[in-house]
Amino acid sequence: MTDSDSREIVLKGISASPGICIGKAYLVDKEGVDVVEKYYIGDAQLQKEKNRFKTAVKKAKNELHTIIEDSPEDLRQHARILETHILLLRDKMLYGRTIETIEKERVNAEWALKKVVSIVKPMFQNMSDSYLRERANDIVHVSDRVLRNLVGAKPLDLGNIDKRVILVAHDLSPAETSQIQLERIKGFITNRGGRSSHTSIIARTLGIPAVPGLDDATRIIKNDDIIIVDGTTGIVIVHPTEQTIIEYSERQVRYEGYRAVITRASHFPAVTTDGFRLQVMGNIELPEEVVSVIDNGGEGIGLYRTEFQYLSRAVFPNEDELFDKYKDVVEVMGSKTVTIRTLDINGDKAIAAIPSGYEEKNPALGLRAIRYCLKKRDVFKTQLRAILRAAHFGNVRILIPMISSCDEIRETKQILAEVSNSLEKEGVDFNRDIEIGIMVEVPSAVVMAASMAPEVDFFSIGTNDLIQYALAIDRGNEEVSYLYEPLHPAIIHMIKHVSDVAKEKNIGVFMCGEMAGDPINIPILLGLGMDELSMNPQSIPAVKRMIRTLNVGDAREFMKEVLKKTTSRDIINLVQDTYGAMLSNETPSEYQKDQT
């Protein structure tokens, strides 16, 4: 090795799961599926080629079943993601189109599959929702597995890693991640992937540092290289100097101490210095994330985004399947509240099986969420029945997304009543007496809040969409992301109006958009009178800690100054000037020091 090979290199990726680890790199070999040859087949071989593909798919399916069965108990929940992969294997988009391509183009199965993936993958990648974008990776993982079987490559043997190493991979599929005995792994880094890829979700749930999105880590890093992974900043250091190792070892100790302190304290209520208790809840997309909410001190589920169970499915889940999923979450949470949001499908969360010939020109303004549900009554009723049945086992409330008129609320309540009546007639256990709330995320709902309030039990402000629709900024468009500003005066005035109406009409006012999870926004949200905040589980400890340093009386006074400001910059400066000291307490200063 030359000197230039071993000089310290700093790589920047995405901070997906916080924490620091230092150790030897273990490269996950993906040889065998990246380069695929194309060749033509004659009529005589056509059937044989199709059978070869079918056999490879069958084998992939059996492999996935075995992985699910062999997963350690604590990863069983995550292994369910693999069930999605099994379904993808039979999906028309992948399976049907590959067979079709073999038939039409008379090409070998490997080439046909690669071609189909190259068409289907961008469909997902172009979706503005980051979660759905990352489902493109699931397509790749599944097809890689089939390709391995087609070319006869060895399956990855991750189950036998018995060293305390840091995994370095091009990408890690959920299947691969669930084979790894994670207690033996210090952390992982990947070229691909983002914050909401399943691998990142698993890393956060288990508290293992992870940095995806490094582009070419597998090219730069060699087996057994010493590397440092800082999952909090998204930094990876290859061949660190002795001085860097000492510095990061110290940071690691401080970070672990800091997490232990705030997480321990997070199990206590978030009460301000003048005695006001703010409920701090967790957002989940998948049932298995409940564990992370509880571990981080979440006091309930403020938003259960249910659409992900409908993803990549040619056939939507049936009532019993949904009921089982909801019941799992409700039972784990015991007496704590579980807010189940009805399907927020389409828009940035488009269904994978897009009906051919139908594409919305402007999906964010299209047949999304409640609009979709009111049109597809059967789909809606199936979900409502499952929710009402699960509500029998705990403390459930229903949240309706994207409400833009009073009519939509009334129609929804009418359907809910019909569903309750039929469940009653059938003698099925369910809970009719359930709170119903709406997402306030469309500007017309803000304006009409006073007319909507008597119809519902609570408002939950969805700032992700409210900002998008109020400021006319596509939430997934990087070009305009600089305008995506939660502390924009217009947004603050809208939240104030919704909160004032809720207080006057005596209903709860909550927030479940990303804005609720950032400590810098907390003085304003407290001053505006939020009763409950719901966020990514990892954000709960820092937000609770921030709340404990604040005083509601002061925050209300502070709001008078905030409301006079006319730009986001002025508001941010005001928050920094007034609460800067408390905000810098959010991470220990020694840990923040020298962060790149």
Residues that bind ligand PEP (CB under 6 A): 303, 305, 344, 441, 462-465, 512-513
Whether residue 530 contacts residue 276, with contact meaning beta carbons closer than 8 Å, is answered with no
- Looking up tokens 């926004």, which residue turns up? 521
- Looking up tokens 């409700």, which residue turns up? 330
* Residue 8 φ/ψ, nearest 5 degrees: -65, 130
First to last CA, the chain: 28
Site string for Mg ion, 405-444 (x = CB under 5 A): ------------------------------------x---
User: Between β-strands 270-271 and 277-284, what pairing exists: parallel, antiparallel or unpaired?
Assistant: antiparallel
Non-local (6+) Cβ contacts of 24 within 8 A are: 163, 165, 166, 224, 225, 226, 227
Q: Nearest distance from residue 476's CB to ligand PEP, in Å?
A: 11
Q: Select from ligand PEP, Mg ion, none the partner in contact with residue 544, using the beta carbon and a kind-dependent cut-off of 5 to 8 Å.
A: none
Q: Select from Mg ion, ligand PEP, none the partner in contact with residue 128, using the beta carbon and a kind-dependent cut-off of 5 to 8 Å.
A: none
Whether residue 85 contacts residue 174, with contact meaning beta carbons closer than 8 Å, is answered with yes
Q: Select from Mg ion, ligand PEP, none the partner in contact with residue 305, using the beta carbon and a kind-dependent cut-off of 5 to 8 Å.
A: ligand PEP
Q: Which of 334, 328, 360, 333 is nearest to 347 (CA)?
A: 360
Site string for Mg ion, 439-478 (x = CB under 5 A): --x--------------------x--x-------------
Q: Select from Mg ion, ligand PEP, none the partner in contact with residue 537, using the beta carbon and a kind-dependent cut-off of 5 to 8 Å.
A: none
Of 343 and 562, the one with the shorter C-beta distance to Mg ion is 343
Produce one character per residue of 306-334: b if its CB has 16 or more CB atoms within 10 Å, e if not. Answer: bbbbbbbeeebbeeeebbebbbbbbebbe
Give 133-161 as a 3 state SS string: HHHHHHHHHHHHHHHHHHHCCCCCCCCCC
Residues 244-263 contacting Mg ion, CB under 5 A: none
Residue type (1 letter), 370: I
Q: Nearest distance from residue 340's CB to ligand PEP, in Å?
A: 13
Q: Select from Mg ion, ligand PEP, none the partner in contact with residue 266, using the beta carbon and a kind-dependent cut-off of 5 to 8 Å.
A: none
Q: Nearest distance from residue 303's CB to ligand PEP, in Å?
A: 6
Non-local (6+) Cβ contacts of 356 within 8 A are: none
Residue 3's CB: how many other CB atoms inside 10 A?
6
Size of the site for Mg ion (CB under 5 A): 3
Of 303 and 351, the one with the shorter C-beta distance to ligand PEP is 303
Residue closest to Mg ion (Cβ):
465
Of 161 and 364, the one with the shorter C-beta distance to Mg ion is 364
Whether residue 200 contacts residue 192, with contact meaning beta carbons closer than 8 Å, is answered with no
Task: Check 78, 141, 198, 488 and give the catalytic one.
Answer: 198
Q: Nearest distance from residue 462's CB to Mg ion, in Å?
A: 4
Q: Select from ligand PEP, Mg ion, none the partner in contact with residue 518, using the beta carbon and a kind-dependent cut-off of 5 to 8 Å.
A: none
Of 300 and 462, the one with the shorter C-beta distance to ligand PEP is 462
Whether residue 277 contacts residue 269, with contact meaning beta carbons closer than 8 Å, is answered with yes
Q: Nearest distance from residue 441's CB to Mg ion, in Å?
A: 5
Q: Select from Mg ion, ligand PEP, none the partner in contact with residue 281, using the beta carbon and a kind-dependent cut-off of 5 to 8 Å.
A: none
Q: Select from Mg ion, ligand PEP, none the partner in contact with residue 282, using the beta carbon and a kind-dependent cut-off of 5 to 8 Å.
A: none
Task: Check 85, 170, 373, 512 and give the catalytic one.
Answer: 512
- Looking up tokens 């880590």, which residue turns up? 217
Of 297 and 517, the one with the shorter C-beta distance to ligand PEP is 517
* Residue 212 φ/ψ, nearest 5 degrees: -90, 180
Q: Nearest distance from residue 252's CB to ligand PEP, in Å?
A: 33
- Looking up tokens 């941010």, which residue turns up? 572
Of 370 and 574, the one with the shorter C-beta distance to Mg ion is 370
Of 134 and 465, the one with the shorter C-beta distance to ligand PEP is 465
Non-local (6+) Cβ contacts of 472 within 8 A are: none
Of 147 and 284, the one with the shorter C-beta distance to ligand PEP is 284
Q: Nearest distance from residue 449's CB to Mg ion, in Å?
A: 17
Q: Nearest distance from residue 365's CB to ligand PEP, in Å?
A: 14
Q: CA 401, CA 574: separation in Å to the nearest integer?
A: 33
Residue type (1 letter), 249: S
Residue 406 annotated in active site: no
Q: Provide the phi-psi class of 152: left if phi over 0, else alpha when psi is between -120 and 50, else beta.
A: left
Q: Which of 438, 64, 407, 5 is nearest to 222 (CA)?
A: 5
Of 285 and 441, the one with the shorter C-beta distance to Mg ion is 441
Non-local (6+) Cβ contacts of 324 within 8 A are: none
Does residue 348 touch Mg ion according to CB under 5 A?
A: no
Q: Select from ligand PEP, Mg ion, none the partner in contact with residue 513, using the beta carbon and a kind-dependent cut-off of 5 to 8 Å.
A: ligand PEP
Residue 392 annotated in active site: no
Q: Nearest distance from residue 300's CB to ligand PEP, in Å?
A: 15
Active site amino acids: 198, 512
Report the interface residues with Mg ion, using CB under 5 A: 441, 462, 465
